[in-house]
Amino acid sequence: MRSFLSTVSALLIVLVAALTPLSALAVWVDQEIGDTDNYVATMEPLASDPRVQNAVAVRISDEVRKRTDAGPFQEDVQSLVREAVLSFAGTAAFKGVWNTVNRAAHTAVEDALAEGGDSAVSIDLAPVTQRVKQQLSDEGVPFVDQIPVEHTRITILESGKLGTVRDVFHVLGIVGLWLPVATALIAAAGVLLAVRRVRALVGLGLALAGGAVLLGVAVAVWRGVCLDDLPPDVDRPAAGAVYDALTATLRTTAWWVLAAGLALALAAWLVDRRRTRVARAARVT
């Protein structure tokens, strides 16, 4: 019976190592990706990121070059637009517009992760273009009336290439916060069923640390996969900034769980070592 309980306890603790990263992902999907306000708050700091500002400026100025006919002044108009976008990107108004376009894009992100489809998820930069167009018009820049306001977008996700990841997101969205609760109960059961509970705590701490390492590795590996799958016209530095912003919570969680797991394992090991010394001393006397 003792051997059976020890085996079950060990299996449950190993299961905790596998469930730890999935639990963190479930909370992330539910609280960050699945909540519009939290999603917008996560994306908000990117309005001040030079990589994102430059990508927005380049995308809008390229669209101007394609859709306007300024004759010999074509390059000058494109340059003026780019400088105007960069200037606008440094204002508080840009942050407000940035939050607005990301709030609008959030529904498309959820749909891409949950329902699928082959279309790309993008941010509509029309509000930014409109503000820049008005600024240039007020300054009397020629040909400004030809600047297109619609159809200026930045791709942030290729939904047709998500494959298995979409299925994982779908399942995690369903289980939501129940998965971390189940993981905690499994961890408690693993310790309570153990014949030597202090040593089981050592194993649990190591399992949590191992799960945290798995989470950190998964976030790092998937970063490369996501950036490699983007179309050639997508700005890689800006896409990397977006990915890092969205997964910042996961990386922080991985570090905290790693530290907590190692601390638990060390504390339990020290207690077990002390109890062993006391038991040996008692037998000697």
pLDDT in tens, 103-129: 888 877 777 666 555 556 678 888 888
Cβ 14 vs Cβ 206: under 8 Å: no
Q: Which of 146-160, 230-244, 258-272 has the lowest mean pLDDT?
A: 146-160
In this prediction, residue 267 carries a pLDDT of 93
Q: Return the structure tokens found at 9.
A: 């306890």
Q: What integer pLDDT is reported at residue 182 of this predicted model? A: 93
The structural domains of the chain, with segments of one domain joined by +, span: 2-33+163-269, 47-161
Strands 153-158 and 120-124: antiparallel
> What is the arithmetic mean of pLDDT over 185-198?
89
In three-state secondary structure terms, 35 is coil
Residue 153's SS3 state is strand
Q: Who has greater pLDDT, 132 or 169?
A: 132
Q: What is the mean pLDDT of residues 144-168?
A: 67
Instruction: Give the tokens for residue 139.
Output: 């300054």
CA distance 177 to 23: 8
Arithmetic mean of pLDDT, 70-95: 82
- Token reading at 270: 């020290």
Q: pLDDT confidence of 209, banded at 50, 70, 90?
A: very high
- Positive or negative torsion for Cα 17, 18, 24, 26: negative
- The Cα-based distances of 267 to 9, 83, 189, 264 in angstroms read 20, 58, 20, 5
User: What's the whole-number average pLDDT of the chain?
Assistant: 83
Going from the C-alpha of 111 to that of each of 26, 55, 170, 245, the distances in angstroms are 17, 25, 10, 20
